[in-house]
Chain A
Amino acid sequence: MKKVPISRRRFIQLGAFTGSGFMLGVYPTNWVQAAQELPDDCPYFQPNAYIRIEKNGSITIFVAKQESGQGVNTSLPMIVAEEMEVDFQQVHTEVAPFGSLPAGAHDTGGSQSVPGTYDDLRKAGAIARTMLINAAAQKWQVAPHLCKAEKGAVVHALNGNRLTYGELACDAALLPVPTEVTLKNVKDFNIIGKEQRKRNQKDILTGKAKYGIDLQIPGMAYAVVARCPVRGGSISSVDDSEAKKVPGVLKIVQFEGTGKPMHVHAGVAVIARNVWAAMKARRMLKIVWNEGPNNHESTKDLFQRFEQKSKEAPKQIVHTLGNVAQVTAPAKRSFSAQYAAPFLAHATMEPVNFIAKANAEQCEIWGGLQLPDWAVGEIANSCKLKKENIKVNLALMGGAFGRRLQFDFAIEAVKIAQQFDQAVKVIWDRTDDLRFDNYRPANFHRLQANWDEKGQVQSWQHHVLTTPVAFSTDGPEAKEPAEMLGGASKDFWYDIPNVQTGYTPVEFNIQCGWLRGVEPVVNVFPIECFVDELAQKQKKDPLQFRLSLLEGRPAFSAKFNENWSQPVDPGRLATVLKLAAEKIGWDAPRSKNHFMGIAGHLFFCNSYAAHAIEIEKLGKKHFRLVRIVVAIDCGVVINPDGLRSQMEGGTVFGLGQALRNEITVENSQVVEDSFYAYQLARYNDVPPIEVYTVPSEAAPGGAGEVGVATVAPALCNALAAAGMRPRRLPLQKAGYTWET
């Protein structure tokens, strides 16, 4: 696979890996014919890489997407099983081994797992079903339409004869793969749309689930790394004389950093018999770093730079409608505001870790990777290996949220392993994990709007400033750094006749990456706060104000470039806003000191969500979180319980950002070193959460990220209703306190 810069939009293209418009009934030849080489005794039927049916009746469905808590290990096999007509409780599911599918099949992220594979997986299941029916028809010498597939068997429509899939497996294996298949009607679904437990739930509850960090390779040693605290720096000198004396230490190795895309930091690795010895020895290392020229930056200065640049014209104009310059209004019908949010860390509960065994020619790796094909290519480049000599073992992840879209830790582990003769498990402690992350960009926004005497908003301007991910992955010469999805681009959903959005990238020597919700989370906070402020200025109900800008606007297609358009349906956004409002009791009189806020958005995976939050004001900047309601429209729902989990979890993820999360930088080094400093949302931060789903037969959208963006603005809007109007996250930084 060629080296590709993975911008957000490029990722989406990769996610739908079969690429070109897929006609119903036509299967892609390049992967379905995963060669079924039959030994003489034919032990199984494998029409494609996703399905295996054994002679003894055992059915296995393979899952390519990586499980990290989002539930793909359950939802994706459900889709295959539906079309296959099997009892979902009877199937085994396994991770599809890396290499059994074309490049990109294992790429997991961007909320693309369900929407990007729904059609392919249905076809895969339908192909198996069709071939099994054909096998039965042949055996019974009847027309296929007289054979019906149900619950793992084919039944003769006239005489009730029955052959199980196991009994038909070897006959089916000899048949040609059909070029056309019929898919089930949504109304006939038995599995999709019904609640399922997570496939690995029992293992999790008994401590048996194995995450990457739990894997043990025979002969393996353990390593922890002292890394140059500044990106781009190098090692000046190392005194490891004391460190070597720690019992259990085997070897201490050094490695240089890399440049883009992953900017591995230069480091010194202590390899030892156990993690504890390695950690103790690391503390004894005396290292002098050459931090390089870019070692003086701070987030304090960055936000000052943001504010200053926000007053200048944006470097790139991204979306224009009408002509904002021609819209003038007096001060009483004009408003401008600025919003800001910090760098954020991924902070997966399973700290970063990776296992590698490598020498100058061969390499084997174990661990979680969300973009394994890209990772393999870059490992090959950085470590002077051939891609085909890198064997990949993908592992269950204890949370990802985009951390493992990046693979700096994998390159690093291979560099260390190449200097050792056994497998090495590189463990990052929580300080490493927080200080050497790929951060969600710090961001700043300036918005401005004018409205007429009737209160109709006539112009809207949004200047977005971030430290773009593309500067990390592609360098400062990145062609398209603009991070404008989520309403700051052509996908802007409010019906305003004159719009201009623009972007200014700002350089900062910190590695940036993709965090759950990516730029919609960044852009929806200011958008949904600002539109709320406009409503407040006009003394209008914030819900009605939004609806007046949505209802009646027809669905449209936001064309970002030649290859990529996003359908935008303001009506669906209006629906989720109304549903959230209804369920929180928006129109009912408020209890004393109770206030509510609302926010809605479209996430680019074709899902729409809104949050409505009720608070009780307890004092100046002190409040109680009473209830959170989230409304979701993601088209066809695969696993309703999984969807609810994602919405609840996304809500807590967004709540943590609203209340607590913040990464600060001084002298180009991340300050936060532990959960005491980088605080996550806690058990006692979470009020009751209710999830409501819009019933829909639209093509399924994704659900992993859509639950995040509207939490912070909904909460800030509730606070605004209570007389406070925070414009900067996290609320803790501005002195807010809360309880539940």
Chain B
Amino acid sequence: MTVFEFWRYTFKSFRLDLPQQAFFPVCRFIMPIFKLLINGESRTVDVEPDMPLLWVLRDELQLTGTKFGCGVASCGACMVLLNDTATRACVTPVQIAEGQAITTIEGLSAKGDHPIQQAWEEINVPQCGYCQSGQMMTLAGLLKANKRPSAAEIRLAMDGVLCRCGTYHRIQQAVQKAIEDYNK
């Protein structure tokens, strides 16, 4: 797939309808307070409205499981769920996220035993592990949208998350296993 096609799929499939210029909004001189619902808990942050949710999660709330990989929606390391939709937190201004149910890797399951996590564990997927939150949350979003995605839908979704260590071979297997277990 070409670079253009990838960009189009990224924005079309997995994000909310954000105006392009949400990425560079006008600065404000007061720091408003945002009430966020994260992993079922209400959290309050005092930040600029244009601050990407990624930095709010990581630096304001110490939820460092969501990773910074590029900041421009090209790698998928920052994937979270916004009302069950896989969303790239690095290009989601916090003001958009207010009022939405946000799920991060820390909230995928209480005990690390979501079928996706279990499949990843059984196949021993991670190497450095840095991209794996993004990989798992992308699949989580896909399964929320469609419990039995087609091969083409899987390929489209998972192609949006990069892995430099090259664990794709195992991710491919873990995806199959996770879908089986999710449907049990």
Contact = CB atoms under 8 A, between A and B. Distances in A.
A553 interface: no
B84 interface: no
B38 interface: no
Contact of B64 (A68, A71, A210, A274): A210
A69 B128 contact: yes
A535 interface: no
Nearest to A401: B164
Given A198-B126, A350-B67, A69 B165 contact: yes
Interface stretch (A130-138, A275-283, A615-623, A713-721): A275-283
Contacts of A685: 168
A277 B164 CA distance: 28
Residue in A207, A641, A674 with the greatest tally of chain B CB atoms within 10 Å: A207
Interface stretch (A22-30, A569-577, A644-652): A644-652
A208 B136 CA distance: 14
B104 A648 contact: no
A676 B7 contact: yes
Contact of B132 (A71, A205, A429, A679): A205
- Chain A at the B interface: mostly helix, strand, loop or mixed? loop
Nearest to B7: A676
A591 interface: no
Interface string B42-81: 0000011011100100111011111111111011010000
A226 to B, nearest CB: 16
Contact of B74 (A247, A279, A649, A676): A676
Nearest to B31: A247
Contact of B169 (A68, A274, A280, A648): A648
Contacts of B72: 430, 674
Nearest to A425: B59
A389 interface: no
A675 B112 CA distance: 31
A201 B120 CA distance: 9
Given A198-B124, A650-B166, A207 B70 contact: no
A387 B112 CA distance: 42
A85 B106 CA distance: 36
Nearest to B126: A204
Contacts of B60: 274
Interface string A558-578: 000000000000000000000
B133 interface: yes
Residue in B59, B166, B171 with the greatest tally of chain A CB atoms within 10 Å: B166
Nearest to A348: B164
Nearest to A346: B164
Residue in A246, A347, A645, A689 with the greatest tally of chain B CB atoms within 10 Å: A645
Contacts of A400: 128
B98 to A, nearest CB: 16
A648 B170 contact: yes
Interface string B85-116: 00000000000000000001110000010000
Interface stretch (B13-21, B142-150, B154-162): B154-162
B62 to A, nearest CB: 7
A229 to B, nearest CB: 19
Interface stretch (A164-172, A211-219, A301-309): A211-219
A641 B6 CA distance: 33
Nearest to B134: A349
Nearest to B123: A641
A681 interface: yes
Contacts of A200: 129
A70 B165 CA distance: 9
A683 B159 contact: yes
A649 B112 contact: no
B105 A275 contact: no
B103 to A, nearest CB: 11
A714 B161 CA distance: 27
A205 B124 contact: no
B166 A398 contact: no
Interface string B6-42: 1100000000000000000001010100000000000
B30 to A, nearest CB: 9
B65 A206 contact: yes
B68 A397 contact: no
A341 to B, nearest CB: 19
Interface residues of B, number: 62
Given A210-B64, A276-B55, A429-B70, A202 B168 contact: no
B13 to A, nearest CB: 15
Contacts of B155: 683-684
Contacts of A206: 65, 105-106, 112, 117
Interface residues of A, number: 67
Interface in A39-81: 67-71
Contacts of B132: 204-205
A349 B75 contact: yes
Contacts of A248: 48
B19 to A, nearest CB: 18
A656 B52 CA distance: 30
B163 interface: yes
Contacts of B172: 683, 686
A487 to B, nearest CB: 24
A694 interface: no
Contacts of A651: 166
Contacts of A274: 47, 51, 55, 59-60
A349 B128 contact: yes
B56 to A, nearest CB: 9
A623 to B, nearest CB: 16
A514 B96 CA distance: 42
A649 B167 contact: yes
A680 interface: yes
B122 to A, nearest CB: 10
A481 interface: no
Nearest to A655: B166
A712 to B, nearest CB: 14
B166 A649 contact: yes
Contacts of B182: none
Contact of B124 (A645, A679, A681): A645
B165 A204 contact: no
A246 B31 CA distance: 12
Contact of B62 (A209, A216, A351): A216
Interface string A630-660: 0000000000010001001111110110000
A657 B163 CA distance: 14
B164 A684 contact: no
B72 to A, nearest CB: 6
A211 B168 contact: no
Nearest to A690: B169
A675 B64 contact: no
B129 A675 contact: no
B171 A676 contact: no
Contacts of B64: 207, 210, 214
Contacts of A351: 68-70
A242 to B, nearest CB: 11
17 contacts: A68-B128, A69-B165, A201-B129, A207-B66, A211-B130, A222-B59, A349-B131, A351-B68, A427-B68, A429-B70, A651-B166, A676-B7, A681-B166, A683-B155, A683-B168, A684-B155, A686-B172
Interface of B: 1, 3, 6-7, 27, 29, 31, 47-48, 50-52, 55, 58-60, 62-72, 74-75, 77, 104-106, 112, 117, 120-121, 124, 126-133, 136, 155, 158-159, 161-172
Given A67-B128, A198-B129, 18 more contacts: A69-B165, A206-B65, A206-B106, A207-B105, A216-B59, A247-B31, A276-B52, A279-B71, A348-B164, A351-B68, A645-B167, A649-B166, A651-B166, A674-B72, A675-B74, A676-B3, A680-B164, A683-B159
Interface of A: 67-71, 197-198, 200-202, 204-211, 213-214, 216, 222, 246-248, 274-277, 279-280, 347-351, 397-401, 427, 429-430, 641, 645, 648-653, 655-656, 674-676, 679-686, 688-689
